[in-house]
Amino acid sequence: MGDPCEAKRRILGCVAESILLYAAAIWVSVLENNKYITVASRVQRRVALRICRGYRTISNEAARVLARIIPIDLLVEERSRAIGMTAGEKKALRKETVQKWQNRWNASDKDVWLHKLLPDITRWYERSCGEIGYYLTQTMTAHGSFQSYVRRIGKAEHDPCLYCSSEIDNAEHTIFRCPAWADIRNLSEITVRAELRPENIVQIMMEVDFKWKAVESMVEKILKRKEQDSRQRGPNTQQH
């Protein structure tokens, strides 16, 4: 897409986070007032959407998880407790914070599809390879080039797959089952040496860089082709 990589987008996110957390140890008491947390969360949301390059329709929780941005209230609590701690103690405190985030994610009944793909926030947060981007975010949120999403936002009348008509066209159907993309899917599975399923795709991606790139290439090829075909068919089936 020609845009800055995730690492560069994250630098801007870190600047915004530093501003939000300025003197957090002093104003930590405002956590009791949801109004202030809501305002700070809106800033986090804008940053998270830019990092993961997600549609504005995805939830705050999904955006922060994909962008690996810890919720602001947990960060403020951590910052207030970290005063006077050694580096080792701060590292342990961060693990505790991420675990609280994980517990919150486990308890959420939103973003069912993303939960299925990404149940383990800790491993995602600590991963050492791969960058999230436009097409991976579409795939992981189901907000993008899928007829079910296009119908949901009022830009299509029907949601069956336009390629095989056998199922509703959602992220799971497109990426894992639609026969129209079997060759692209098979090539990726040969590269990663595994059958890709919703339950294992993210775990496989995080194993090593070449597997991440293989999956990323697969979803990009599929979704780019769908975008091109949609433009040729006309506005009634356009994704965006």
Q: Rounded to two decimals, what is the model's pTM? A: 0.86
Instruction: Tell me how far apart the alpha carbons of residues 226 and 218 are, in angstroms, rounded to a whole number.
Output: 13
Angle between the N-to-C axes of helices 209-233 and 182-192, in degrees from 0 to 180, rounded to the nearest 10: 170
Q: CA angle, 129 as apex, 19 and 149 as ends, to 5°?
A: 75
Of the listed ranges 26-30, 56-60, 109-113, the least confidently predicted one is 26-30
Tens digit of pLDDT for each residue in 55-72? Answer: 999 999 999 999 999 998
Tens digit of pLDDT for each residue in 173-192? Answer: 999 999 999 999 999 999 99
Residues whose CB falls within 8 Å of the CB of residue 92, separated by 6 or more in sequence, listed in order: none
Tens digit of pLDDT for each residue in 200-230? Answer: 999 999 999 999 999 999 999 999 999 999 8
Residues whose CB falls within 8 Å of the CB of residue 144, separated by 6 or more in sequence, listed in order: 55, 135, 137, 138, 171, 223, 239
The pLDDT assigned to 27 comes to 64
